[in-house]
Amino acid sequence: MLRINKVLIILVLLAAPVVRAAEDRYEVQFGRTLNYRGGRVSVDHRFGPVTVRTEPGNNVTVRATIRASDPAFGQKIRIKAVEEGNGVSVRTEFPEERIIIRSGESSYSVDLRITVPPQATLRLTNRFGSIDAEGIGASEITNSHGSIRLRDTRGNQVVENAFGSVDVQDAAGDISIVNSNASVRAVTIAGALNISNRFGSVSVNDVARRVVVKNSNGTVDVRETDGPVSITNSFSNTKVSTIKGAVEVLSQNGRVEVATVGAPVSVRNSFGAVDAKEIAGSLTVNNANGNVSAKEINGDLIVETRFGTARGDTIRGAARITNANGAVNLTGVTKDARVRTSFSSVFLKEIGGAIDVQNENGAVSVTDLAPPAGGCRPIAVRTTFSSIKLELPAGSSYTVNASTSFGHIKSDLPITTRSLGEESVSGTIGRGGACKLELSNTNGNITIDRD
């Protein structure tokens, strides 16, 4: 008995060639069923789309449509399939010679349709054609010049593409995607997600574990994830929203928007604005040449920026702002507020803790102060070439040291003075005590009003 351990199948024709005389075209159908004994199903294809589906059992079925504008060339296209002890291999082969037609255009392609068992692992390579797969297990997919579409996958997926979009939905395992010059979309991923892309947008929604995105020259939009999120992007905008884990964004030359995060957030950006709101933990922003806006932060706010404004509203922690050549506006800070800036104004409102402001060439305004926790709110304000305006609530008690040059000091609250001059005051407001009010200016007035 002759036992064949390796069966080589070469272009089994199930239908006669169809040649259209008017267009001189060649089209033929191919089909074969192979026995799968385990291992990997390997597919090496080019010049045409590939469709992969799953069926229960132990068979791999291969169906194809071969097309060519020149019948002589089309008859030389081969499909090879091999049953092996470690899997099944399918390969398309094309003649090396080129089609030369004096008039008109030449073309050829193979549409490949494959069915694999659900338990099979898949390694699929294609060039100049799309890939559409559903229900597959663990796989490695490589493509170029065509889109990739994956649905209802099980096991980990490793995907690489170029010059074609990648769309993954309903994946049970981890997903790794490398793409370029086209978009990436991933929706409903039960595992972790890692995406590297350039010159294309990235859209992510509903991921159960960690999300890592590295992109350039394309927008990034990540939503509805349970794990932490790490994003690196450049030359485009980044949006992050409804995230349960911590968020880290590294960006340049693009706007960053972060909203509704259940853990701390860290953003580093340049040449683009940063807008963050509804953050359950602390917010840390390092920016350059762009505005920073923070709202509803349930922790500390730490901002370092330059050549842009810094705004904070409803900060349930402390605020520490370092700016240069930009205004600072803080409202509703529960704890301490510390501000460093220059060449612009500082507006502080409804600050619950200590206040420490150092400015240059800009006004400072402090208003609507709530009664301090513990009975004392130290205030230190320094600026130059502009004014200081301070409103104190009734019943405030401070030891006051205020001085200016080329300006005046005015107070609506009585100050029991130890020393008094036209440009300096030392004394107490109310009961005085250890709570200090230190105001220092150069070339500007100092005004203390009653709130």
Concatenated DSSP letters for 102-146?
SSS---EEEEEEEEE-TT-EEEEE-SSS-EEEES--SEEEE-SSS
Asked if residues 268 and 288 have their Cβ atoms less than 8 Å apart, the reply is: no
pLDDT computed for residue 7 by the predictor: 34
Contact assessment for residue 409 and residue 424, using Cβ atoms and an 8 Å cutoff:
yes
Q: What phi, psi does 72 have (nearest 5°)?
A: -60, -40
User: Taking a C-beta distance cutoff of 8 angstroms, is the pair 319, 300 a contact?
Assistant: yes
Query: What is the predicted pLDDT for the residue at 84?
Result: 83
- Whole-number pLDDT of residue 10: 33
d(CA 222, CA 107) in angstroms, rounded, equals 41
Rounded CA-CA distance 378/368 in Å is: 15
What's the pLDDT score for residue 156?
97
Question: Within 10 Å of residue 2's Cβ, how many Cβ atoms?
Answer: 3
pLDDT on residue 105:
61
pLDDT of 98: 56
H or E element: which one contains 198? none
- Pair of tokens at residue 327: 């205004």
Q: Are 322 and 344 in contact (CB under 8 A)?
A: no
Please say whether the beta carbons of 67 and 25 come within 8 A: yes
Task: Give the model's pLDDT for residue 166.
Answer: 98
Place of tokens 């008039």: 103
Closest listed residue to residue 120, CA positions, set 53, 44, 65, 32: 53
Are 110 and 92 in contact by the 8 Å Cβ rule? The answer is: yes
* 3-state secondary structure (DSSP) of residue 373: helix
Residues forming a β-bridge with 265: 247, 283
Encoded tokens for 49: 């789309």
- The DSSP code for 13 is B
Coil, strand, or helix at residue 72?
helix
Q: In this structure, are residues 351 and 358 in contact, taking their beta carbons and an 8 Å threshold?
A: no
* Residue ranges, the chain, pLDDT below 70: 1-24, 97-105, 373-374
Dump pLDDT digits (tens) for 23-41. Answer: 458 999 999 999 999 999 9
Of all helices (H) and strands (E), which one includes residue 74? helix 71-74
